[in-house]
Amino acid sequence: MLKIFWPIFFVIVAIHGNPVSETRRFPQDFLWGVGSSAYQIEGGWNADDKGESIWDHLVHTHPEKIDDQSGADVTADSYHQWRRDVQMVKELHASTYRFSLSWPRIMPGGYMNHVSTAGIKYYSNLIDELLRYNITPMVTIYHWDLPQRLQELGGWTNPEIIPAFKDYARLVLEMFGDRVKLWTTINEPYQICEMGYGLDYMAPSYKYPGIPSYLCGHNLLKAHAEVVHMYREQFQKRQGGRIGITLSSSGFAPRNPDSAEDREAAERGFQFFVGWFAHPIFSRHGNYPKIVIDRIRNLSKEQGFTRSRLPEFTQAEIHRIRGTADFFGLNTYTTYLATTNGHNNTGNFPVPSFDHDMGIIYNHDGVDWPSSGSVWLKSYPKGIYDLIKWIHHQYNGPEIMVTENGVSDRGGLEDYARVDYLNSYLSAVLDAIEDGVNVSGYIVWSLMDSYEWKAGFNEKFGLYHVDFTSPERTRTPKISARVYTHICKNNGINWSYRPTLNKEQLVAMAQLPAEDLAGISGAKANTGTWHWCWSLTLLVSLLRRVSE
Ligand code: NOJ
């Protein structure tokens, strides 16, 4: 019987790792980071000569659209607390800090006629402080806070945005490119265009489905490409940095894996969500995915439009956009189950609309995956594996950097659910790497609790808790901060590392506002241990069968 024991044992070890050293390691030069964005953490909404952004405008004119009627006028006050922010990145042993620049802080009206010295100085100081501690700044040029004056011209739906964005990008590349070597142009085009113009979910909250989001996407892709060309021609050689874009997508799985129709629906989800922006940049031939072009053209015709609601690129534009990224930045959080939206529009989508064009019904109905502090976010680690592999195969193995991944809760320092999420998602990323996918880095969303857009301060993504009632916006590490430090230090996941609150955290916990304590999650079963129990059961039953 012993003869059979060792082969089975080795198979199990191969699947789950060595029980003695549970750490699974990432490639040597893997980049570990944490992220934030300007509007969500800075505050100082009208400090010095900062201009109004579309988010300032939205929260001030329509507070009722925000879950807790709040705004980010002060939020985590990083406009003043930036030194502490850098200290936190250092405490985490993360090598990279991803943050964004606020366009209206730098150019209050959106144009070059007024550049704010205070705005430039703020980011310059932050970058210098990061470099002092050997932390790589990764800068997002645009993360949703458009100058309101440009919105009054139609924002991203007006082609005027292209030269305006290029001027803004030129200025920041000139000002910071000597020290910043990692850039992304734009964060999450889908959210900017569909959630901002098609739906009522993000500023400017147009709620005008089916038309402006495609105009926005078209201009956005051109603006992105112009900036990358400019960087490559005028800056890259001299400054030696790299530039990409950050795209977002959830994963899509067929609701019924045995149904060819559901499998097609999931594939359509990928083509519409990822392909809309990725195909023009990363595919071999450029342009929007064929299925996206065809469906929107045909539906537009049926609906009585004389042209497709999806604008067409010229050959020259297709060529100019293709290849404009040194890496693929990916933000992802969850997965949806997809099925086809029947001809009679069973999903009840507005006609026309992006969702109706895509023609799939996608949701979490009936799944028992761990939930979070956000209704839209359920944990399904295999989803990130499938998504990364889909991108790898679709676009010829680009370098993928996970620029955002993380989970929300409703508060508290004992965030074991976040620990489980990070460990299991990272484990799935590692599976993809071991399959030969080029994933070069992973950036947790988020460094600290911050303003979660329309959810206000209700949903917390931070590794650090922020006391939004204290004048200095005190930051305290959660359990997940200590686990992530361990991950960064060891370049790997260790399932058995589950620290309990230390003295500093216990003191901080005693001072937390009541609403923060309400959301505390109890310690969950250790998933690593669970894997081992499962494997041992398997081993014992196999041995039994062999000895019978
Ligand atoms: C993506 C966005 O880039 C970020 O701003 C947001 O807070 C997270 N997702 C979580 O919703």
pLDDT digits (tens, 9 = 90+) for 201-234: 999 999 999 999 999 999 999 999 999 999 999 9
* Mean of pLDDT over the chain: 92
- Which amino acid is it at 468? F
Q: For a pocket test of ligand 1, which of 185, 452, 454, 463 has the largest count of ligand atoms closer than 8 A to its C-beta?
A: 452
Chain position carrying tokens 């508060």? 411
CA neighbor of 364 nearest in space, from 379, 381, 385: 379
Q: Are 246 and 330 in contact (CB under 8 A)?
A: yes
- Which amino acid is it at 175? M
Ligand 1 center from residue 389 Cα (angstroms):
22
Ligand 1 center from residue 332 Cα (angstroms):
9
Pocket flag, ligand 1, residue 451 (CB < 6 Å):
no
CA distance 363 to 536: 35
Edge-to-edge strand order for the sheet containing 360-363? 251-254, 335-340, 360-363
Q: Please give the C-alpha separations between residue 136 and each of 34, 94, 190, 436, in angstroms, as whole numbers.
A: 11, 9, 27, 26
Strand partners, 142: 186
Q: Are 219 and 239 in contact (CB under 8 A)?
A: no
- 13: pLDDT strictly greater than 60: no
Question: pLDDT tens-digit profile of 452-477?
Answer: 999 999 999 999 999 999 999 999 99
Pocket flag, ligand 1, residue 445 (CB < 6 Å):
yes
Q: Are 399 and 380 in contact (CB under 8 A)?
A: no
- Which amino acid is it at 354? F
- 398: pLDDT strictly greater than 50: yes
CA neighbor of 478 nearest in space, from 515, 457, 442, 505: 505
Pocket flag, ligand 1, residue 404 (CB < 6 Å):
yes
Of residues 13 and 456, which shows the higher confidence score? 456
Region 382-395: mean pLDDT is: 98
Q: Are 410 and 458 in contact (CB under 8 A)?
A: yes
Q: Which atom of ligand 1 is nearest to the CA of 453?
A: 7
Q: Are 417 and 479 in contact (CB under 8 A)?
A: no
Identify the pLDDT of residue 515: 64
Q: Kindly list the domain boundaries of the chain, sorted by start residue.
A: 27-546
- 16: pLDDT strictly greater than 60: no
**In this structure, is the dihedral angle defined by the CA atoms of residues 32, 38, 39 and 41, taken in order, positive or negative?**
positive
Identify the pLDDT of residue 522: 35
Lowest mean pLDDT among 264-268, 330-334, 508-512: 508-512
Region 242-251: mean pLDDT is: 98
Q: Which atom of ligand 1 is nearest to the CA of 188?
A: 3
| Residue 172: CB atoms within 10 Å | 20
Ligand 1 center from residue 235 Cα (angstroms):
29
According to DSSP, residue 155 is labeled G
Predicted confidence band at 22 (pLDDT cuts at 50, 70, 90)? low
Question: pLDDT tens-digit profile of 32-64?
Answer: 999 999 999 999 999 999 999 999 999 999 999
Q: For a pocket test of ligand 1, which of 250, 445, 446 has the largest count of ligand atoms closer than 8 A to its C-beta?
A: 445
Burial category of 336 from C-beta neighbours within 10 Å (exposed 0-12, middle 13-18, buried 19 and up): buried
Encoded tokens for 438: 């080029």
CA distance 502 to 245: 39
Cis peptide before 470 (omega within 30 of 0): no
Q: Are 32 and 485 in contact (CB under 8 A)?
A: no
Pocket flag, ligand 1, residue 331 (CB < 6 Å):
yes
User: Which residue numbers are catalytic?
Assistant: 188, 404
Give nearest CA residue, ligand 1 atom 11: 452
Strands 439-445 and 24-25: unpaired
Ligand 1 center from residue 191 Cα (angstroms):
9
Strand partners, 444: 34, 405
Region 261-285: mean pLDDT is: 98
Largest CA distance in the chain: 85
Ligand 1 center from residue 298 Cα (angstroms):
33
Strands 475-477 and 464-466: antiparallel
Region 359-388: mean pLDDT is: 98
CATH class, domain 27-546, is: alpha beta
Q: What is the 3-state secondary structure (H, E, C) of 56-67?
A: HHHHHHCHHHCC
Ligand 1 center from residue 132 Cα (angstroms):
28
Residue 173 host element (H or E): helix 161-176
Burial category of 324 from C-beta neighbours within 10 Å (exposed 0-12, middle 13-18, buried 19 and up): buried
Pocket flag, ligand 1, residue 96 (CB < 6 Å):
no
Pocket flag, ligand 1, residue 452 (CB < 6 Å):
yes
Region 507-517: mean pLDDT is: 78
Strands 360-363 and 335-340: antiparallel
- 245: pLDDT strictly greater than 70: yes
**Rg, the chain, Cα only:** 24
- 537: pLDDT strictly greater than 60: no
